[in-house]
Structure formats: structure tokens, C-alpha cells
């Protein structure tokens, strides 16, 4: 019996590989209706994760500059650039570009006018 099952093993492996490569998955509904769904391949890291991460970095930068001001932010960035490897990497990511700086200054000015 084991010899027979071992002989069928390559056939089952090949069928499993072919099934994984297929473009659709057929299943049956609770009432017996056959449903074919398109099977999409998943990427390891979807693009939207990278975009959300970049957006969050920009948002955190803006909040930090609005909270402590451009001068305080520059002092903290200098301190981070002289720190450990992780702090230097964070300082490179969190360096302020001119456009973000102007947006943060305008938000800070608007908040100062309100409060």
C-alpha cells in the first residue's frame, strides 16, 4: 500500500503546483452553486504601505515643527546627527525640506493667531 501511495506522490505534487498557478479558484456556495473567483498574486510589500509610511513621516515632521518651532527642531536634528547610528538614520529621514518648513510655519502662525 505504501509503495502505491509513494508512486502517486509526484502526481499529487505536480497537481498542487498546477493548482497554485491557476488564475481562478472554483468553489461551491452553500446551495451548490459553483463560483469561480479570480486568484490574485499578493506582493510581499504593497505600494500603499510605502505611501502611508511616507505620509506619516511627513505628518510627524510637520507636527514636531509646529509644536517646538523651526529653531527648536533644528537644534534637535543637530543633536540627533551627533548621536548613535539609529539617531543619525532618523535624522536623515526627518530632515526638513523647504516646502514642509513653510507649511509648518504657516500652520504655527495660524495656531498662534487662534490661541
Top-confidence residue, 88 or 7: 88
pLDDT at 109 over 70: yes
Provide the number of structural domains found in the chain: 2
55 plus 13 within the same structural domain: no
The tens digit of pLDDT for each residue in 47-84 reads 888 899 999 999 999 999 899 988 999 999 999 999 99
Handedness of CA 31, 37, 41, 44 (dihedral sign): negative
33 plus 53 within the same structural domain: no
Binning pLDDT at 50, 70 and 90, where does residue 87 land? very high
31 plus 54 within the same structural domain: no
Binning pLDDT at 50, 70 and 90, where does residue 46 land? confident
The tens digit of pLDDT for each residue in 13-32 reads 665 565 555 566 667 777 77
Q: What is the pLDDT of residue 86?
A: 95
| Domain span holding position 6 | 2-38
56 plus 83 within the same structural domain: yes
Region at 108 (left for phi over 0; alpha for psi -120 to 50; beta for the rest): alpha
52 plus 97 within the same structural domain: yes
Could you give the dihedral angle defined by the CA atoms of residues 101, 106, 108 and 113, in that order, rounded to the nearest 10 degrees?
170
52 plus 84 within the same structural domain: yes
60 plus 24 within the same structural domain: no
72 plus 105 within the same structural domain: yes
24 plus 78 within the same structural domain: no
Q: What is the pLDDT of residue 20?
A: 55
Amino acid at each position: 500500500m505504501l509503495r502505491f501511495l509513494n508512486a502517486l506522490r509526484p502526481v499529487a505534487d505536480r497537481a498542487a503546483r498546477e493548482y497554485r498557478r491557476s488564475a481562478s479558484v472554483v468553489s461551491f456556495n452553500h446551495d451548490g452553486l459553483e463560483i469561480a473567483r479570480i486568484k490574485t498574486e499578493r506582493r510581499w510589500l504593497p505600494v500603499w504601505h510605502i505611501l502611508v509610511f511616507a505620509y506619516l513621516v511627513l505628518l510627524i515632521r510637520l507636527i514636531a515643527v509646529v509644536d517646538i518651532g523651526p529653531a527648536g527642531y533644528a537644534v534637535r536634528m543637530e543633536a540627533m546627527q551627533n548621536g548613535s547610528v539609529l539617531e543619525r538614520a532618523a535624522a536623515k529621514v526627518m530632515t526638513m525640506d523647504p516646502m514642509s518648513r513653510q507649511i509648518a510655519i504657516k500652520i504655527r502662525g495660524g495656531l498662534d493667531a487662534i490661541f
